[in-house]
Amino acid sequence: MSGGMNGKPKRVPVLKKSECSRCHAPFVAGQTCIEIPQVGLGYSTGKRVCDECFQGILKKTWDDLEVIKVI
């Protein structure tokens, strides 16, 4: 397993104070957040979002899939 293409979101521990890159909710050390790999960027710095935003992103993705299904 090498970190390459096809990164998928994963739950990661928050090691230092930061914030959700979508809603800017504060993250504190000790909690977890979801890291979404940024496709197309050379860096492996994923976008970190809170659970709530991740659910929103999942729902949007699902809605998009539903649209595709209709076609």
CA distance linking residue 12 with residue 51, whole number of Å: 11
- Give the interface segment with Zn ion, choosing from 6-14, 36-44, 51-59, 62-70 (CB under 5 A): 51-59
20 touches Zn ion by CB under 5 A:
yes
Which one, 37 or 56, has the nearer CB to Zn ion? Answer: 56
- Cα–Cα distances (Å) from 8 to 11, 16, 23, in that order, read 10, 22, 20
CA distance linking residue 24 with residue 18, whole number of Å: 9
Which one, 6 or 47, has the nearer CB to Zn ion? Answer: 47
Q: Which residues would be at the binding site for Zn ion (CB under 5 A)?
A: 20, 22-23, 25, 50, 53
